[in-house]
Chains A and B, each alone.
Chain A
Amino acid sequence: MQNIFKQEWFSRLIDVMLPVFATLAALGVGAVMLLLLKVNPFVAYGAMFEGAFGSGNSIAETLVKATPLLLVGLGICISFRGSVINIGGEGQMIIGALLATQMGLMFTDLPGWFVIVLALLMGFVGGALWGGIAGYLKAYFGVNEILTTVMMNAIAVQLMNFLLRGPMIDPSQAQLASKIPQTARLLDAFRLPRWMPTRLHLGFLIAVVLAFLVYILLWRTTLGYRIRAVGKNPDASRYAGINVKRQIVLALLLSGAFAGLAGAIQVYGVNYRMITDGSASGFTGSAGFNGIVAALFGQLHPLGTIPASILFGALLVGANKMQRVVQVPSALVIALNGLVVVFVVSSDYWRRKRQRRRLAQARIEEDDEPDEEPGAASPAQTEVVA
């Protein structure tokens, strides 16, 4: 009799569900933290759920928060598939947003749709540039991309502060003593269309469409194939005639481009201007980091990243509600996000374990000794226990 636990479809189902288990585990740790803060976790998580999905408006807010996570996450799918670790999403978002905003400030007499398209395009270009520099330095100078992307986050923040305090400052603020570091408001005609009366904007739809395009890019085009091949095995790829360096640059360039677009959409869909409190997260809301979390949760699959970013958008929106209801700082959610990342990457261990066991079992079956199976399978099982 076939045991359900030994069937392949079941094993694969568990693989897909692993991130969910990992998240539940993280929420479990979060519950312990809440208990230590003398808060009923059910009440806290209930408030969170209520805040994220309780009404049409809260769902819209969740999707608004999910949009930059999804876009950054799509970029992460590309770069991580190419074994390039891009943690420069924050900086790339900022540069994209700066370029995009400048379009709206410069071309006030052009038609709205044209400026929007131009601005989003420039956001894409700005992020690509910022990511591409890191890619170039990695490919041709061997500089670790983790370091350059982190450094370039810091540089982008200062560039933003400089521009918003000086060259790009709102002319009316420049006259005032307060000198709030912000740009002028974009014209109403330049705003991304909204689903009234909520704040849900077209950017979410754009992001979802792009998710499908990134899927096609990664699995249906030569470029995507090459990026993934280099990610899996750079030596074999080089041997196969792939220009490895170019794929590395392209992976970071594309990855940055999506983050830059996220920044542009944040300006044209939500804020309608850029304003800085001096930090990166003041503008990005840490989407450059949380997008990584979403992509990982979606198992670096563009389509998996869609529900993942909605989930993390919900966590962010729900955290505000939780803060109001049970007075737990929303920083808890950042800590939880961290735990989710740790648990999700760790859970991969069991997926690999089962994969090895499946391979071992396949080999045993090839040996054509079905009677021996229970005994032969036991070494693999003891391995799991150990």
Chain B
Amino acid sequence: MISELFTATVLIGILASGIRLATPYLYAAIGETFGQRSGVLNLGVEGQMLLGAFAAFYVSLMTGNLWLGILAAAFVGALMGLGMAYVTVNLQAEQGISGIGFYLFGLGLSDLLFQKLMGSVQTVKGFPKLVIPGLTNIPVLGEIFFNHNILVYGAYLLVPLAWFVLNKTTLGLKIRSVGENPEAADSLGISVAGVRYFTIILGGTLSGIAGASLSTALLNVFQQNMTSGLGFIAVALVYFGGWRPWGVLGGALLFSLINSLQLWIQVLNIPIPSDIAIMMPYILTILVLVLTVSRVRAPSALTKPFTRSE
């Protein structure tokens, strides 16, 4: 019953799994943040994640080496990013639509490879929990924050790193200027195309890893369309977070905690229909978008291709 939600074990469970569930969103959304800050909307995240999830799973299954799996996922994601970069930067194709194309491509190809190479759902022994001496043992807090596998920690480390790169380095300045005013950036000798290639490929790489985190660290299986909309949510979280890594973190945590709550509601047999419970994070995200979006301005050049005027 409802009161069962408020016991210490359940609350700790909700928080801990909320933190864990945010992992794929963080990788994908931080990657997407880089792309969007440089002016490119990549809607193909979901497809990159699916291919990454498959690559990581299959390589891990074949070689028994999870890190080779991650490497494969990153590589596949980067390749998809390269394709997206060529299409949106060189051919100046409409970004939203080409993203949908890459999504469908990843959806179909990952399914095709799954059916051809594996045939049936298998499981892999995913990344083990990583005990951090001195931290994992702390009562309550240790269980909530420091009882996860290495990919979870990696996702959270990515946030300050992304913040630092975007705000405190020359590279970050270049990325932001290309996203805000590509003409000015170009006149200062910054290669708009080069910066965008970099951010889109980086985004693809991180999306690939996001998929890998699903198939080899959180769920440890691969299934057709296993991301079921997760990549699109990641794109939404970038808007939600106002194109800032810390904001993205807030959004990912909020979304995942609500998700974790609804999973626990189902586990505890609380009489809320599970279908309705699953809706909650989506409805909440829309509501928060409505309440916050007008505060933050999108990068000025977002979705606008850059042509050098002669």
Q: Which residues of A contact B (CB under 8 A)?
A: 33, 37, 85, 87, 137, 141-144, 146-148, 150-155, 158-159, 161-162, 165-166, 279, 281, 289, 292-293, 296, 328-329, 331-343, 345-346, 348-349, 352
Q: Could you list 13 A-B pairs, sorted by A, with CB under 8 Å? A: A33-B112, A143-B289, A148-B286, A150-B232, A151-B286, A155-B282, A279-B225, A289-B100, A292-B100, A328-B112, A334-B104, A339-B101, A342-B87
Provide the main secondary structure of the chain B interface: helix
Interface residue from B91, B104, B224, B289 paired with A346 (Cβ < 8 Å): B91
Other-chain residue from B112, B289, B294 in contact with A147 (beta carbon distance below 8 A):
B289
Q: Give the distance in Å from the alpha carbon of A328 to the alpha carbon of B290 in the complex.
A: 45
- B107 to chain A: closest residue by CB: A334
Given A150-B229, A154-B229, is A349 in contact with B92 using a C-beta cutoff of 8 Å?
Answer: yes
Name the CB-closest residue of A to B298: A144
B11 at the interface (CB under 8 A from A): no
Q: Which of A146, A148, A151, A289 contacts B104 (CB 8 A)?
A: A289
Q: Are B47 and A148 in contact (CB under 8 A)?
A: no
Contacts of A147 in B (CB 8 A): 232, 235-236, 239, 286, 289
Q: Are A338 and B47 in contact (CB under 8 A)?
A: yes
Q: Bound complex: CA of A144 vs CA of B232, how far in Å?
A: 12
Question: In this assembly, does B191 line the interface, its C-beta being within 8 Å of a C-beta of chain A?
Answer: no
| Residues on A with beta carbons closer than 8 Å to the beta carbon of B96 | 85, 146
Main secondary structure of the interface of A (DSSP, over half): helix
When the two chains form the complex, which single residue of A148, A158, A331, A332 contacts B279, counting CB atoms closer than 8 Å?
A: A158
Inter-subunit contact B289/A345 (CB<8 Å):
no
Residues of the B chain whose Cβ atoms lie less than 8 Å from the Cβ of A332: 108, 112
- Cα of A154 to Cα of B103 in the assembled complex, Å: 17
Is the CB–CB distance between A296 and B97 below 8 Å?
yes
Q: What's the minimum C-beta distance from B28 to chain A, rounded to whole angstroms?
A: 14
B87 interface neighbour in A161, A289, A345, Cβ under 8 Å = A345
Please give the residue numbers on chain B whose beta carbons come within 8 Å of chain A beta carbons, in ascending order: 43, 47, 83, 87, 91-94, 96-98, 100-109, 111-112, 115-116, 224-225, 228-229, 232-233, 235-236, 239, 273, 275-276, 278-279, 282-283, 285-286, 289-290, 293-294
Task: State whether B289 touches A158 (Cβ < 8 A).
Answer: no
Q: Are A334 and B108 in contact (CB under 8 A)?
A: yes
Asked whether, in the complex, the Cβ of B235 is within 8 Å of the Cβ of A146, the reply is yes
Contact indicator A331/B97 (Cβ below 8 Å): no
Contact B98 A345 (CB under 8 A): yes
Inter-chain contacts of B282 with A (CB < 8 A): 151-152, 154-155
Q: Kindly state the separation between the CA atoms of A310 and B14 in the bound complex, as whole angstroms.
A: 49
Since A141-B290, A165-B275 are in contact, a sample of 7 more A-B pairs with Cβ atoms closer than 8 Å, ordered by chain A residue number, is A141-B294, A144-B293, A151-B283, A281-B225, A335-B109, A340-B101, A341-B104
A341 touching B115, Cβ below 8 Å: no
Inter-chain CA distance A352–B91, complex, in Å, is 10
Contact present for A166 and B115 (CB under 8 Å):
no
What is the bound-complex CA distance between A293 and B108, given in angstroms? 14
| CA A328 to CA B113, docked complex, whole Å | 10
Q: What 6 A-B pairs have minimum CB-CB distances, sorted nearest first?
A: A335-B108, A334-B108, A338-B105, A341-B101, A338-B104, A331-B111
Q: In whole Å, how far is B12's beta carbon from the nearest beta carbon of chain A?
A: 27
Nearest-neighbour CB distance to chain B for A161, whole angstroms, equals: 4
* Residue from the list A141, A159, A293, A342 in contact with B102, Cβ < 8 A: A342
Q: A329-B112, A345-B97 are in contact. Are A335 and B286 (CB under 8 A)?
A: no
Asked if A158 and B104 sit within 8 Å, CB to CB, the answer is no
Shortest Cβ distance from A285 into chain B, in angstroms?
Answer: 13
With A137-B286, A143-B286, A345-B94 in contact, do A337 and B293 touch (Cβ < 8 Å)? no
> How many angstroms between the C-alpha atoms of A182 and B92 in the bound complex?
45
In the complex, A146 Cα to B92 Cα: how many Å? 20
Q: Are A158 and B278 in contact (CB under 8 A)?
A: yes
Residue of B nearest to A281 (CB): B225
Is the pair A342, B289 in contact by a Cβ cutoff of 8 Å?
no
Least distance between A82 CB and chain B CB atoms (Å): 14
- A329: contacting residue among B91, B102, B111, CB under 8 A: B111
CB closest residue in chain B, given A90: B229
| A331-B108, A335-B104 known; A144+B290 contact, CB < 8 A | no
State in angstroms the CA–CA spacing of A162 and B277 once bound together. Answer: 10
Nearest CB in chain A to that of B284: its residue: A151
**Measured CA separation A331–B276 after assembly (Å):** 30
Q: Is A331 a contact of B112 with CB atoms below 8 Å?
A: yes
- How distant is the Cα of A349 from the Cα of B93 in the complex, in angstroms? 7
CB distance from A352 to the nearest CB of B (A): 8
Q: Closest B residue to A147 by CB, please name it.
A: B236
